[in-house]
Structure 1
């Protein structure tokens, strides 16, 4: 069966097949079921796949396959596909019998069976054309076909006479099949956020990631209360509903063929509500989005050269620096293009130590023994070890890694068996007057005293 609405289809088929088996003297030993799967393609039909695997692999403990009719074997648009699967079974000595349709073994029976397959495929084509026409008519009338509402909008049900019924909460459906569902603005607060996003993106030239951070700091969150992200801001900027129009015909997916996406200029639109902002502002946002999307026309060499440019200017390369670099892809684009950011670094001739400290050239982490050897090497070079010297050596891993492996840096120094100056003080005061208690302090260059915290290393007067 192809949909959950045909919930009794499987039971009816099983009952008809059982009656046929009893009348013809068959014993049913196993059943293969594809519930909620379309017969247009073999893709996703796990029951059919298991059946063919058992037959071809010689594991079938039966001699005959009983199918209700040709359409249940499949409504393949290429009728040769249905014949191919049936031939695979016959070639292994397993016959395929259609319970509701009597086909002879001769030439005439083959012709009738082929005609039945053509009719099954034609039924799907006709039904698909009717469904497409109905969906397009609903879209032209401003109805929505389903799915959650975009940010700033809600779903409302309307009666056949056009009167408004009620507001639908997330996950709710209309109560009667004769009703229709349309989008409407969710409220002034969400509308203000949408206008802020467009103003910051177009007038202020803010990046989508920066806009998300600004909204999160202000306490304006997504519909479900989760933080804004770059992708969510992009969805708002591309939403046609903000102009009061509803777009449809964005893609086509006919008869199990691959989805074909159409350019924005080929979309159809219909007016469904009053606009939340001007068409001019929306068009300006789409123009800037196209400019940003144009970055993806950069070649791999241009992307690699961008990494070298960051390294020359900053002395290092990080994902945050890549994302902040104007005119350059984001770090995610490097992952999708090169497979990993580390591979892009190697192509740029940059050691991974320039990006993430305490790593091998292949990006793997240092072992505990390698970390302890690095601390001993640091002591042999400088005659002492402390936090400042440790942090200055980028061949050693981060403090977060040290905390995870050793507990803290002092424990790592002790396990490396190197002398270090690391004391405890009940009170000390930093240069700005902030007081701290019960923390580790240590001697540093030029007799200074340093405090190690999660925010880094700070110098303190004790």
Structure 2
């Protein structure tokens, strides 16, 4: 039986026509749920219940991870909240059509905004009635969490797959660059056709590698390196020389200090395949990753620059910043900010009288820290990057202090060097987790605890951190036997079933680990 039929339990047959709007979204990862299919299902649902669809809002091919770019949903909410809506209910295919947000509260907020404006929401493909009953509320909460978890798991799988391809020597993203070309190869690495700019592979099993480009372009790349290393010319001088010769970049543009600098620092010219310089996972803000997070395969391609020459160029670039003190580097960045009004890695690299962005990264650890030191606040909030970095620095100290305290009580602790799992007294295992505080759009605090289902620790110790990541708020000792989910979201105040695991210190863990001597037992 069609699950949209009028025999559905709890469905309503209206005695008079009810005006409705339909909202449909085709997610990029769920092409089979096209907007046309959703619209057809909603029409059938409406037809069986005496509902008239007077408007349709459609977001074509839009990811459900963020509201950005979903103009139809924005228009729907605006129409409802400004009183422009000429309908009393909204038909949506299922709960996940609002979005696959990592914070399930964000998905719920859009439904709540509709209801507050007096417009009800009906989920036409769900097996429950959206009647605000406790059962429907629980089901929606579970489905919103599952929708977000699906996106997270998909992101992890996609990243792992991309990383494996990089390590095998395949090109994953971006243009080839001046002096190089992209080539199709099949699964046996047999060469096929060259990939021209704007073209994409059409066969799933085909891969892309980099090969040397035309001889004249390869020679120009060599000229750039020799002019920089052997003649001592700056990037700006080299750009001027190339432009005078009428040579353009691979994009057909004039050379600049920044484009020359990128040629001088990119490892693809010595045959290395390096990926994950930046992250944009789950549609969060793009961040610049530290070198230890890069995925690489050295010697994957045929080099067109001698490695010794390349290393000499890197040494020159790094030495330029070493001649400046920290304050001098920051002052140069401060002056650039006053001139430009904003900062980015590209803006820094294009500036003639300023060290490169890679030099700031090497000296100060991150561009964000440099921005903070000169009083510049980017339009986007990247504070979580520094908080995460701080948590990574705190974590080893927490583990070390915990181990030392257990041993001082007579307990025995061993640490698995590969995964950090603690085994206490050969009796039970413990996983320590630092949980960053995340703020919802409504201003509420949330802490997400992910359980390592691969290690199966007997107890997960979740340490809730303050919003700035500098202070410990409390501890949750979560036994595996009672935790049946892969992820747990904690609020400021939680239900009694969770609060029984909350403690102000790690003393309960130390009690479990403490060993009492025979003399103490007999006294």
Tell me the TM-score normalised to structure 2 length: 0.56
**1:304-333: CA deviation from partner (whole Å, max 9, x where unpaired):** 9xx9xxxxxxxxxxxxxxx8779999xxxx
For 1:409, the equivalent position in structure 2 comes to: none
Provide closer, same or farther for how the CA distance between residues 224 and 81 of structure 1 changes in structure 2, counting only shifts above 3 A: closer
1:97-176 residue pairs with structure 2 within 5 A? 97-101=122-126, 102-105=128-131, 106-176=133-203
Structure 2: stretches of 5+ with no match in the other structure: 1-25, 340-350, 358-370, 377-523
Shift of residue 164 of structure 1?
0.8
For 1:289, the equivalent position in structure 2 comes to: 317
Structure 1: stretches of 5+ with no match in the other structure: 308-322, 330-335, 340-462
User: Aligned equivalents of 2:285 and 2:34: distance in 1?
Assistant: 28
Matched, 1:51 2:76: yes
Contact 2:274 2:295 in 1 (8 A): yes
User: Aligned equivalents of 1:41 and 1:303: distance in 2?
Assistant: 35
Q: Classify the secondary structure of the residue corresponding to 1:37.
A: coil
Contact 2:329 2:354 in 1 (8 A): no
For 2:365, the equivalent position in structure 1 comes to: none
Shift of residue 77 of structure 1?
1.0
1:88 to 113, 126, 136: 113
For 1:299, the equivalent position in structure 2 comes to: 331
After superposition, the CA RMSD in angstroms is 3.0
**1:246-274: CA deviation from partner (whole Å, max 9, x where unpaired):** 11121222212212212345423212223
Q: Classify the secondary structure of the residue corresponding to 2:233.
A: coil
Q: Classify the secondary structure of the residue corresponding to 1:39.
A: coil
Contact 2:98 2:110 in 1 (8 A): no
1:13-412 residue pairs with structure 2 within 5 A? 13-101=38-126, 102-105=128-131, 106-223=133-250, 225-264=252-291, 266-270=293-297, 271-292=299-320, 297-299=329-331, 303=335
User: Aligned equivalents of 2:155 and 2:242: distance in 1?
Assistant: 44
Shift of residue 297 of structure 1?
2.1
User: Aligned equivalents of 2:188 and 2:116: distance in 1?
Assistant: 60
Provide closer, same or farther for how the CA distance between residues 239 and 128 of structure 1 changes in structure 2, counting only shifts above 3 A: same
User: Aligned equivalents of 1:5 and 1:64: distance in 2?
Assistant: 26
Q: Classify the secondary structure of the residue corresponding to 1:30.
A: strand
User: Aligned equivalents of 1:328 and 1:303: distance in 2?
Assistant: 14
Structure having the larger proportion of residues in helix: 1
**1:110-161: CA deviation from partner (whole Å, max 9, x where unpaired):** 1111111111111111111111111111111111224321111101101122
For 1:372, the equivalent position in structure 2 comes to: none
For 2:400, the equivalent position in structure 1 comes to: none
Provide closer, same or farther for how the CA distance between residues 328 and 38 of structure 1 changes in structure 2, counting only shifts above 3 A: closer
User: Aligned equivalents of 1:327 and 1:4: distance in 2?
Assistant: 42
User: Aligned equivalents of 1:179 and 1:301: distance in 2?
Assistant: 44
Count of residues in Structure 1 that have an aligned counterpart in Structure 2: 316
Contact 1:103 1:110 in 2 (8 A): no
**1:190-242: CA deviation from partner (whole Å, max 9, x where unpaired):** 11111111111122221111101112223433235543222221221122111
Provide closer, same or farther for how the CA distance between residues 126 and 79 of structure 1 changes in structure 2, counting only shifts above 3 A: same
User: Aligned equivalents of 1:290 and 1:128: distance in 2?
Assistant: 35
Provide closer, same or farther for how the CA distance between residues 13 and 302 of structure 1 changes in structure 2, counting only shifts above 3 A: closer
Contact 2:182 2:209 in 1 (8 A): yes
Q: Classify the secondary structure of the residue corresponding to 1:162.
A: coil
Provide closer, same or farther for how the CA distance between residues 301 and 143 of structure 1 changes in structure 2, counting only shifts above 3 A: closer
Structure scoring higher RCO (CA < 8 A, sep ≥ 6) equals 2
Contact 2:171 2:208 in 1 (8 A): yes
- Runs of 4+ aligned residues of structure 1 deviating over 4 Å after TM superposition are 291-296, 300-304, 323-329, 336-339
Contact 1:103 1:112 in 2 (8 A): no
Shift of residue 58 of structure 1?
1.4
**1:67-99: CA deviation from partner (whole Å, max 9, x where unpaired):** 000111111111111111111111111001100
Tell me the TM-score normalised to structure 1 length: 0.63
